[in-house]
């Protein structure tokens, strides 16, 4: 049985980020990915740039303003914290060759985990292609996360046949009774991502969402376009701290890196994998997913998610007013998990008090969401 210091399960965003940060660390690492090298799921990760990380150079589509539309229109000023994106294909193309060449990391595709046994101080991991023995496991499998509410989105990457300037929109709420909005992101390569997003207990099938996307493109952008590719995703929206089984460390979505009220995850993955890599290299740092601020934000999300679950229509007003009534930098720091105490207090002060107090009390008696 081959021995490694560390097994990383899953070569997605978290698994690859952590493996990259452990190159030349002196630790032996085996990354085990269920799918083959060619079966990669392509995603576009967008976020506000308020921290640097080793993948900065892969960023594109930098925006300094985003529109939010509901009954009215407001602008989110992103001039201090630009809204940027990374294409997961560029991420793969940057990291995977470096892992392949590194002396201490082995990346094994087509390796579905069959069994993990803890034996004294180490783990035996059984996979399709080989069995290994490791000291630590960092597991990013996230299929089993249950939630009462999901972010379900289906996007079209389109190319217009006649050039037209398109305004980026973070949220363009529809009139439906659901918490449903469109997201529009013109990209540097000339394509435009148009995405229909639900925050809903129901996991909509992508086919159920296509007519509305086509109608939105026709009514708001153009009816003369080609579809280049599509993107579909389901993110569990839960503020409950993930359980740890068998003392196996979690990373990525499965560690609770997703901001439950928005789905933003990428920057938290970077902060968390920085912390793990430093910890393994014996450099003391704090776990960003366990700070007091992180706990306060999860409590606030818990209340917000309960309101979205029970009153989706009112929640759209609350979300719109969050952007309209607060300073843009405070809102961005709030949504990016980096608010100051003053940001948090200002945002709480500008929230509708009655409904928040009502649902805050309900969360004491019912933890479920
Ligand atoms: C379409 C889409 C768009 C998104 N856009 C954004 C965005 O704009 N901004 C943002 O911040 N976040 C976004 N997210 C959320 C989040 O950033 C991504 O989902 C991110 O990829 C999560 O990384 P992860 O490593 O936790 O999980 P994943 O990327 O899902 O990685 C888990 C890996 O584990 C592997 N695996 C599963 N089971 C096994 C097994 N048994 N054995 C071995 N390997 C296994 C999977 O194949 C996968 O490669 C998006 C999510 C989706 C789905």
Q: Which residues line ligand 1 (CB under 6 A)?
A: 9-15, 32-35, 43-47, 111-113, 140-142, 231, 233, 235, 252-253, 263-266
Rounded to 10°, the helix 292-310/312-325 angle is 130
Say what the pLDDT of residue 147 is.
83
**pLDDT 10s digits, 160-206:** 999 899 999 999 999 889 999 999 999 999 999 999 999 999 999 99
Say what the pLDDT of residue 101 is.
98
* Ligand 1 centroid distance, CA of 204 (Å): 19
Ligand 1 atom 38, closest CA: 141
* Ligand 1 centroid distance, CA of 12 (Å): 5
Say what the pLDDT of residue 47 is.
98
Give me the residues of the chain with pLDDT under 50, please: none
Other CB atoms within 10 Å distance of the CB of residue 41: 10
**Residue to mutate (ligand 1; options 8, 30, 34, 273; most atoms within 8 A of CB):** 34
* Ligand 1 centroid distance, CA of 13 (Å): 6
Say what the pLDDT of residue 112 is.
93
Ligand 1 atom 30, closest CA: 12
Cβ partners under 8 Å of residue 228, min gap 6: 157, 158, 159, 191
**Residue to mutate (ligand 1; options 21, 141, 231, 269; most atoms within 8 A of CB):** 141
Burial class (CB in 10 A: 0-12, 13-18, 19+), 113: middle
Q: Counting atoms of ligand 1 from 1, which one is nearest the CA of 267?
A: 11
Say what the pLDDT of residue 243 is.
65
Say what the pLDDT of residue 244 is.
62
**pLDDT 10s digits, 287-328:** 999 899 999 999 899 899 999 999 999 999 999 999 999 999
**Residue to mutate (ligand 1; options 12, 157, 338; most atoms within 8 A of CB):** 12
* Ligand 1 centroid distance, CA of 4 (Å): 24
């Amino acid at each position: 049985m081959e021995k490694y210091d560390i097994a990383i399960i899953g070569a997605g965003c978290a698994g690859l980020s952590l493996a990259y940060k452990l190159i030349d660390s002196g630790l032996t690492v085996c990354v085990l990915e269920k799918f083959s090298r060619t079966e990669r799921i392509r995603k576009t990760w967008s976020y506000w740039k308020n921290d640097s990380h080793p993948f900065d150079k892969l960023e594109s589509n930098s925006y300094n303003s985003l529109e939010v539309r509901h009954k009215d229109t407001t602008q989110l000023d992103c001039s201090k914290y630009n809204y940027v994106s990374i294409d997961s294909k560029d991420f793969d193309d940057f990291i995977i060759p470096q892992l392949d060449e590194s002396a201490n990391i082995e990346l094994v595709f087509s390796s579905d985990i069959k069994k993990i046994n803890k034996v004294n101080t180490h783990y035996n991991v059984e996979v399709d292609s080989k069995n290994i023995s490791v000291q630590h496991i960092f597991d990013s499998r996230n299929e089993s996360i249950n939630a009462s509410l999901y972010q379900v989105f289906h996007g079209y990457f389109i190319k217009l046949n006649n050039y037209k300037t398109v305004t980026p929109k973070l949220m363009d709420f529809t009139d439906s009774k659901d918490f449903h909005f469109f997201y529009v992101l013109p990209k540097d390569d000339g394509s435009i991502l148009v995405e229909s997003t639900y925050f809903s207990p129901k996991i909509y099938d992508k086919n159920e969402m296509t007519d509305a996307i086509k109608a939105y493109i026709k009514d708001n952008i153009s009816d003369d376009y080609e579809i280049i590719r599509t993107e579909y995703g389901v993110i569990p929206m839960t503020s409950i701290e993930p359980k740890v089984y068998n003392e196996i460390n979690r990373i990525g979505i499965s560690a609770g890196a997703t901001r439950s009220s928005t789905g933003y995850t990428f920057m938290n993955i970077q902060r968390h994998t920085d912390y793990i890599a430093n910890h393994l290299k014996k450099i003391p740092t704090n776990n960003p997913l366990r700070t007091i601020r992180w706990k306060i934000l999860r409590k606030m999300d818990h209340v917000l998610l309960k309101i979205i679950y029970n009153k989706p229509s009112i929640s759209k007003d609350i979300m719109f007013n969050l952007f309209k009534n607060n300073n843009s930098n405070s809102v961005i720091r709030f949504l990016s998990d980096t608010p100051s105490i003053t940001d948090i207090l200002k945002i709480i002060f500008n929230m509708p008090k009655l409904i928040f107090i009502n649902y805050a009390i309900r969360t004491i008696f019912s933890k479920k969401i």
